[in-house]
């Protein structure tokens, strides 16, 4: 005899979840019982998490679920959700589980090859969009380079919001560049992508109006104390900023001057507590710190430096 949908779905995980062993599973039942399971596992925002998963799998907006709580969840969707729940309960970031992350009004594909773009990094994009200005005579738009582009979020958001700009993106990881290229294609963003270390792979004759970066800035000794979602899943190379967290920022300050056009700016994200040290590094390398932009918690998050 063929077993029912619910019977086939029961497994060790399902028993822990207490999903109903019925022929059908309702959206509300699934959400309520998975919320309890996530609470037991210490998952942040447990109800929101499962609602986002269900909406993603059913290709619905999350709030639409509230109008359709009694709808049956098809077995293929249950199979997909089982694996997603297992991954999230194991500490994998929700963005990796869903395969997407939102950034500056756009949706980017993300996985373990790239850092998850975060809201505070939107401060860099917002500043540049509002302050990139016009290009010098003879050029149609500003020239911008994003160092350590990862998923391409910064470069693509800038290209979409500054259509006259020439946007270049550099990334050391070939795996990450695959993600960036796919995201650029998805959004129809015109960016030039280069593999290599900081300025190394760039054309030697190009000078930039803006050099932007969200570099690795976590001190090496602090990596082990990060939340498990970050520590165990996001790429270490995108996190580890060396002994003091400022290794890449120091290199940028030393090397940026020869790559900047007259009046050009360096716009870089910092970690908490790094503001004074980072400002000193840029001042010691002949820059003037134009602005420090705070995040929503009031911590100086973005440094803007001029030649």
| Residue 102 within any structural domain of the chain | no
Q: Could you give the 3-state DSSP secondary structure of residue 241?
A: coil
Query: Strands (DSSP E) along 172-228, which ranges?
Result: 191-195, 208-213
Please give the average per-residue pLDDT across 270-294, as a whole number: 96
Containing 37, the helix (H) or strand (E) segment is: helix 27-40
How far apart, in whole angstroms, are the C-alpha atoms of residue 156 and residue 159? Answer: 5
Please give the average per-residue pLDDT across 23-41, as a whole number: 87
| Residue 97 within any structural domain of the chain | no
| Residue 107 within any structural domain of the chain | no
How far apart, in whole angstroms, are the C-alpha atoms of residue 122 and residue 101? Answer: 13
Q: pTM value?
A: 0.89
Residue 34's pLDDT is what? 92
What digits encode the pLDDT tens for the residues 129-165?
A: 999 865 565 567 899 999 999 999 999 999 999 999 9
Please give the average per-residue pLDDT across 116-138, as a whole number: 86
Neighbours of 44 (CB within 10 A): 11
Number of compact structural domains in the chain: 2
User: What integer best gives the mean pLDDT of the chain?
Assistant: 91
Closest CA to 265 of 253, 277, 248, 280: 253
| Residue 105 within any structural domain of the chain | no
Dihedral sign for Cα 103, 104, 107, 108, please: negative
Query: What is the domain range of residue 20?
Result: 5-90
What digits encode the pLDDT tens for the residues 225-268?
A: 999 999 999 999 999 999 999 999 999 999 999 999 999 999 99
Dihedral sign for Cα 35, 234, 292, 104, please: negative
Based on the domain organization, do 65 and 189 belong to the same domain?
no
Residue 1's pLDDT is what? 33
Containing 40, the helix (H) or strand (E) segment is: helix 27-40
| Confidence check: pLDDT of 36 > 60 | yes
| Residue 95 within any structural domain of the chain | no
Residue matched to tokens 């800035």:
217
First-residue to last-residue Cα distance in the chain: 77
Residue 75's pLDDT is what? 85
């Amino acid at each position: 005899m063929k077993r029912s949908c619910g019977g086939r779905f029961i497994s060790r995980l399902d028993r822990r979840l207490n999903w109903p062993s019925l022929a059908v599973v309702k959206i509300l039942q699934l959400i309520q019982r998975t919320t309890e399971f996530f609470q037991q596992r210490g998952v942040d925002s447990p109800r929101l998490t499962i609602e986002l998963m269900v909406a993603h799998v059913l290709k619905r907006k999350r709030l639409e679920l509230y109008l359709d709580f009694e709808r049956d969840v098809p077995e293929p969707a249950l199979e997909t959700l089982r694996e997603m729940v297992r991954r999230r309960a194991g500490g994998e970031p929700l963005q990796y589980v869903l395969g997407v992350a939102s950034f500056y009004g756009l949706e980017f594909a993300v996985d373990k090859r790239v850092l998850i773009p975060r809201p505070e990094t939107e401060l860099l994009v917002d500043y540049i969009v509002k302050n990139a200005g016009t290009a010098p005579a003879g050029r149609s738009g500003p020239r911008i380079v994003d160092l350590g582009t990862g998923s391409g979020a910064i470069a693509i958001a800038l290209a979409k919001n500054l259509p006259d700009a020439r946007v270049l993106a550099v990334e050391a990881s070939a795996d990450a560049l695959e993600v960036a290229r796919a995201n650029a294609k998805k959004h129809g963003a015109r960016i030039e992508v280069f593999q290599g270390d900081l300025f190394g792979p760039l054309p030697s004759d190009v000078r930039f109006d803006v050099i932007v970066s969200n570099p690795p800035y976590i001190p090496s000794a602090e990596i082990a104390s990060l939340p498990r979602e970050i520590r165990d899943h996001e790429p270490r190379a995108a996190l580890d900023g060396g002994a003091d967290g400022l290794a890449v920022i120091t290199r940028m300050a030393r090397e940026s001057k020869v790559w900047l056009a007259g009046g050009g700016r360096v716009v870089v994200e910092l970690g908490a507590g790094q503001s004074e040290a980072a400002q000193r590094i840029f001042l010691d390398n002949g820059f003037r710190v134009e602005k420090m932009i705070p995040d929503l918690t009031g911590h100086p998050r973005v440094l803007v430096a001029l030649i």
